[in-house]
Amino acid sequence: MANQGLTEKEMITRREAILRVSAILGGIALIGGESLLTGCRTDGSVNNDKPFTTEEIAFLDEVADTILPTTSTPGAKAAQTGAFMAMMVRDTYDEKDRKTFRDGMQAIDDATKKAHNVGFMQATPQQRLSVLEQLDRDQKSISDTRETNARNRSLAWLSDQRSEGAAGGTPSQTNPAAGITEDPPKHYFRMMKELTLLGYFTSEIGMTQAQRYIETPGRYDPCVPYAAGEKNWAGHA
């Protein structure tokens, strides 16, 4: 199994990173779920997909760098986030999500050509940003709809259970999650955004330059003064 090489410390560190990225994205669980934590797929499927090519990884680097560009600290491309994204998709996503992700790469290129008459790799940074900003709005709308539909299904199921109980019947054991999984696939750009944040903020650059980092073990400070604009502290196991 791919996760056998992970130590308990590494597992804890990755869990904290996933929780942080989930919080940044509004508290919605990351695509890949437990597989992102363990570093392997849990469905037992064998991945026969072709590996990501050098050109595809370069494409993902540019997507990630548009999401997290170089400012006062290096951007996502400097942290080799594209290679991280490719590895996580191949090693942790199921077949359906892998296809959604790969198709999404072509969709980004097509959207850029439609908007600016050039492919994504040939577009200017501003052109790339305008395309990804529109895709981000699209995925946010889809994600909100999915959450609302899932919540409504759960509420309807609970209402049915109460009604059957009040009538003296036996509440149904049907799991509402079965209906929730019938939602359309998650948006490919949300996948890319999640993996960009996760890859960057668990990289050496993200941990030590975008955030403040102190090697563990260190002194315990229960209350540290904070000034507006200071970098966040990197998490530790």
Taking the C-alpha atoms of residue 114 and residue 16, their distance in angstroms, rounded to an integer, is 39
**Does any domain span residue 181?**
no
Residue 49's pLDDT is what?
A: 81
Averaged pLDDT, 28-41: 52
| Predicted local distance difference test score (pLDDT) of residue 125 | 96
Mean pLDDT (the chain) is: 77
Residue 50 has pLDDT above 80, yes or no: yes
User: Are 197 and 25 within 8 A, CB to CB?
Assistant: yes
Separation CA 182–CA 225 (nearest Å): 48
Please enumerate in sequence order all residues whose Cβ is within 8 A of that of 196, keeping only pairs 6 or more positions apart, or say none.
63, 64, 67, 68, 76, 81, 85
What single DSSP character describes residue 233?
B
Total tally of structural domains belonging to the chain: 1
> How high is the pLDDT of residue 177?
44
What pLDDT does 21 receive? Answer: 57
Instruction: Tell me the residue range of the domain where 119 lies.
Output: 2-145+186-210
Q: Comparing 67 with 146, which gets the higher pLDDT?
A: 67
Hey, what are 232's tokens? 């966040």
| Range in 93-97, 114-118, 128-132 with the lowest mean pLDDT | 93-97
Q: Which amino acid is located at 211 in the chain?
A: Q
pLDDT tens, 204-226?
888 888 877 777 656 666 677 77
Closest C-alpha to 80, from 108, 60, 52: 60
Nearest to 62 by CA among 117, 132, 118: 132
* 162: in domain: no
Whether 219 is in a domain gets the answer no
CB-CB neighbours of 124 under 10 Å: 10
Q: Which pLDDT tens digit goes with each residue over 52-98?
A: 999 999 999 999 999 999 998 999 999 999 999 999 999 989 899 99
pLDDT for the residue 44: 55
Hey, what are 75's tokens? 């951007």
Residue 68: per-residue pLDDT: 94
Please report where in the chains the tokens 């991280």 appear, as a residue: 84
* Contact in structure between 164 and 155 (CB atoms under 8 Å): no
- pLDDT surpasses 50 at 152: yes
- CA dist., res. 164 & res. 16, Å (int): 41
Q: Would you say residue 177 lies in a domain? A: no
Within a domain: 39: yes
Instruction: Say whether the peptide bond before residue 176 is cis (omega within 30 degrees of 0).
Output: no
In a domain, 226, yes or no: no
Write out the two tokens for 186. 């998650």
Average pLDDT over residues 18-23: 58
> Does residue 237 fall inside a structural domain?
no
Q: Is residue 221 included in any domain, yes or no?
A: no
Contact 136, 104 (CB under 8 A): no
